[in-house]
């Protein structure tokens, strides 16, 4: 891919990669804490919130790169798009994760 001709797409790819890389690091950090038996309630909520939003951003960019064709059932992106949106609702919605994080942060601030 030529950087000159597809600069806009390359920015989206860079954002997708940055989101994926950051999401991986957050997952590994929390997994290490859980493996070590360290309490990780706040970090688990941060992970669920951050990863679900990162997946949503990544798939949204994938849809944008593919444009109209990505919306058709000829490509799997439209199905992933729907599943990615569910990640922000199921097993504790974004708002519930924010509630849990805020509760832990406020507890720490008061102690
Ligand atoms: C396809 C699918 C599969 C599912 N699979 C499972 C499963 O296997 N096991 C299981 O247990 N559940 C499952 N669920 C349920 C899922 O976990 C719930 O849909 C989710 O927890 C949200 O609950 P709710 O739909 O009752 O929405 P509500 O709890 O009514 O929430 C509605 C909205 O209000 C917000 N909200 C709610 N309470 C607060 C609050 N206190 N402060 C701020 N905002 C708030 C929520 O974030 C949400 O945006 C599944 C749901 C779907 C759609």
The protein residue with its alpha carbon nearest to ligand 1, atom 12, reads: 91
pLDDT in tens, 64-99: 999 999 999 999 999 999 999 999 999 999 999 999
Over its C-alpha atoms, the chain yields an Rg (Å, rounded) of: 17
Decide whether any atom of ligand 1 lies within 6 Å of the 91 Cβ: yes
pTM flag (> 0.85): yes
Q: Is the minimum distance from the CB of 102 to ligand 1 under 6 angstroms? A: no
Burial of 47 (0-12, 13-18, 19+ CB in 10 A): buried
| Residue 1 confidence (pLDDT) | 52
Query: From CA 47, how far away is CA 37, in angstroms rounded?
Result: 17
Mean pLDDT of the 5-26 span:
94
Chain mean pLDDT for the chain: 94
Could you tell me what percent of the chain has a pLDDT over 90?
91
22 lines ligand 1 (CB under 6 A): no
12 pLDDT above the threshold of 70: yes
Cβ–ligand 1 distance for 99 under 6 Å, the answer yes
Contact between 49 and 97 under an 8 Å Cβ cutoff? The reply is yes
CA of 75 to the centre of ligand 1 (A): 28
pLDDT above 70 (res 3): no
């Amino acid at each position: 891919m030529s950087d000159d001709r597809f600069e806009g797409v390359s920015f989206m790819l860079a954002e997708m990669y940055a989101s994926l890389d950051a999401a991986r690091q957050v997952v590994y950090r929390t997994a290490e804490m859980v493996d070590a038996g360290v309490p990780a309630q706040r970090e688990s909520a941060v992970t669920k919130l951050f990863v679900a939003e990162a997946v949503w951003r990544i798939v949204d960019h994938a849809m944008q790169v593919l444009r109209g064709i990505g919306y058709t059932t000829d490509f799997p992106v439209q199905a992933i798009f729907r599943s990615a949106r569910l990640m922000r609702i199921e097993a504790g919605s974004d708002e519930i994760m924010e509630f849990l994080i805020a509760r832990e942060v406020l507890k720490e601030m008061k102690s």
